[in-house]
A and B are shown apart, each in its own frame.
Chain A
Amino acid sequence: MNSAQYSHQASVSLQDVTVELDGHTALNNVTFDVDAGTLMGVVGPNGAGKSTLFNAIAGLLPVRQGKVTLHRVDQSGGALAYVPQRESVNWRFPVTVTDVVMMGRRCRLKWFRRPGKRDRELVKECICRVGLWDHRSALMTELSGGQRQRVFVARALAQEASVLLLDEAFSGVDAGAQEGLVEVLRTLRDEGRIVLLATHDLTNLAGRFDEVLCLNCQVCACGPPDQVFTPQVMEKLYGAHGVRLATDGGGS
């Protein structure tokens, strides 16, 4: 894709966002900003509200208090792409890599319009960018975990999204494929897109992300990885075990 063709200058801002799920507070007064061209990791223990945060940003969950603002994004829809957790995808549904990437074009087309030549060319470019052209006719079930994630990234590219939310993108993906995925995400970051990736994996966070948001129902820390992973923050995230992680060099 010609990256100069689209201008990605979006920013995401959350101001005192509180979200309730089934009567309990899943996110409490969450405030942070992300500027264009940022690759941000969102870390925290199970139940910390990482997926809830993404759902709130994506508009899938109502915000009880506070405000989520997407600045300078295309209001026609499609500016925000969501890569779901693997459990919420219907893998039984028989679609190929090309079919999935073409889904990204859907929101750019009018209700009754079928994808045209330009859409097909764009889809081809996006599949090539993530290095899966040789697998274009493969079913999604035939791909490895890392390849599947790259297909979703290609779909976000086809969608011309400025903001990408990847929920547990490293789950079921081996270390080598994780690095490959991060490499692709860095190129998107360099084009000015915002990439938020929720992960449990604390390995090499400093090498992977520009900024890290430490979340445990509320923001424990947010900033460059080498600054946020203090023993105090790790204790807020993971309790007593977190202190040991910090002293053992977790997150570095």
Chain B
Amino acid sequence: MIDFLIAPLEYGFMVRALIGSILVGVMCPLVGAYVVTRNLAFIGDALAHAVLPGMVLGFMVGINPAIAAIPTGVAVAVLVRTVSRRAGLSSDTSIGILFAAMFALGLVMLASATTIRVNMEDLLLGKVLAISPTDIYVSLGITVIVILGLFILHHWLLFASFDPVGSQVVGSRSGLVDYVFLVMLALVIVIGIQAAGIVLVMAMLVTPAAAAYLLVRRFVSMMVLAAALGTASAVTGLYISYHFNVPAAPAMTLVASGIFALVASFRRRALA
């Protein structure tokens, strides 16, 4: 058993993959707890797709795609809210428009850039085993920023998540809190894409948090448990990937989904 756990860590790429998986396993579910309870799964999925142009641009100009994806994710997060407010459209509609447009832009850029060689499958399904030291530093930096943001804004986020109108009445800051949250979500998705890819990052964002939602009563406990389940899923998925020679992101997703299925079959939360 010890060998099962230690042997892979003789390789540098596996150590980086493990650190990357732990960061994704912690950060995605922490923010995912809000995504699940505020019904924001669609925007999470949309942001993951919408950062594609930024990543492709990164490849084109030769900078780390994760770094290049950050401004794109932040811009789309802010645009979603602004478009729904200004155009009087529902969030879902604005998200649908922006998400499709940005993803299409990314695909056109990818097809036009003949000088770069990017495997589309790596972008869609992630490539945790290819995480570079720079990726790790970027992820660590984002992790610190997001954890600080969640800590400082905790009470405002609770208020705005539970009673958006009431929180708006007591302070104009609630609008700002929503913007900041969307920016944090975009940042976490950028970390998540490195390990899980554009398509499967949703699993890390939503599935562990949904399982935790079924198990505990209070929101803070839900965040902590979600991070624990997310880390367990990511690390277990990584080891399965190494030992059984299967892609890492689908393995992580299947572990997280298995945990959810187990929890859901034993426990059903009373809905409001």
Contact = CB atoms under 8 A, between A and B. Distances in A.
A82 interface: yes
Interface residues of B, number: 29
Interface string A157-177: 001000000000000000000
A91 B161 CA distance: 10
Interface in A77-102: 77-78, 80-84, 88-96, 99-100, 102
Interface in B128-176: 152, 155-156, 158-159, 161-171, 173
A59 B175 CA distance: 14
Contact of B270 (A100, A112, A115, A141): A141
Interface in A117-173: 139-141, 152, 155, 159
A78 to B, nearest CB: 5
A103 B168 CA distance: 12
Contacts of B173: 111
A88 B165 contact: yes
Given A59-B169, A82-B166, A107-B171, A94 B152 contact: no
A93 B159 contact: no
A51 to B, nearest CB: 10
A82 B162 contact: no
B165 A82 contact: yes
A37 B143 CA distance: 50
A67 interface: no
B46 to A, nearest CB: 20
A106 B159 contact: yes
Interface in A36-95: 58-60, 77-78, 80-84, 88-95
A103 B165 contact: no
B272 A91 contact: yes
Looking at chain B's contact residues, the main secondary structure is: helix
Interface in B215-272: 216-219, 222, 270-272
A94 B170 contact: no
B38 interface: yes
Contact of A92 (B155, B163, B218, B272): B272
A103 B164 CA distance: 12
B37 A84 contact: no
Contacts of A60: 165, 168-169
A81 B159 contact: no
Interface string B8-40: 000000000000000000000000000001110
Contact of A78 (B164, B170, B271): B170
Contacts of A99: 158, 162, 218-219
B99 interface: no
Contacts of A82: 165-166, 169-170
Nearest to B213: A94
B213 to A, nearest CB: 7
B38 A103 contact: no
A114 B167 CA distance: 17
A106 B155 contact: yes
Nearest to A76: B171
Contacts of B216: 94
Contacts of A59: 169
Contacts of A80: 169-170
B222 A94 contact: yes
Contact of B159 (A77, A84, A103, A139): A103
A115 B165 contact: no
A142 to B, nearest CB: 8
Given A81-B170, A82-B169, A95 B162 contact: yes
B38 to A, nearest CB: 7
Contacts of A77: 170-171
A237 to B, nearest CB: 26
Nearest to A90: B162
B272 A107 contact: no
Contacts of A58: 169
A111 B151 CA distance: 12
A59 B159 CA distance: 18
A102 B155 contact: yes
Contacts of B170: 77-78, 80-82, 106-107, 159
Q: Which 9 A-B pairs have the closest CB atoms?
A: A91-B272, A82-B169, A107-B170, A103-B159, A93-B162, A84-B165, A141-B272, A58-B169, A93-B37
Given A94-B213, A99-B158, A141-B272, 10 more contacts: A89-B163, A90-B164, A91-B272, A92-B39, A93-B161, A93-B219, A96-B218, A100-B163, A103-B166, A155-B166
Interface of A: 58-60, 77-78, 80-84, 88-96, 99-100, 102-103, 106-107, 109, 111-112, 114-115, 139-141, 152, 155, 159
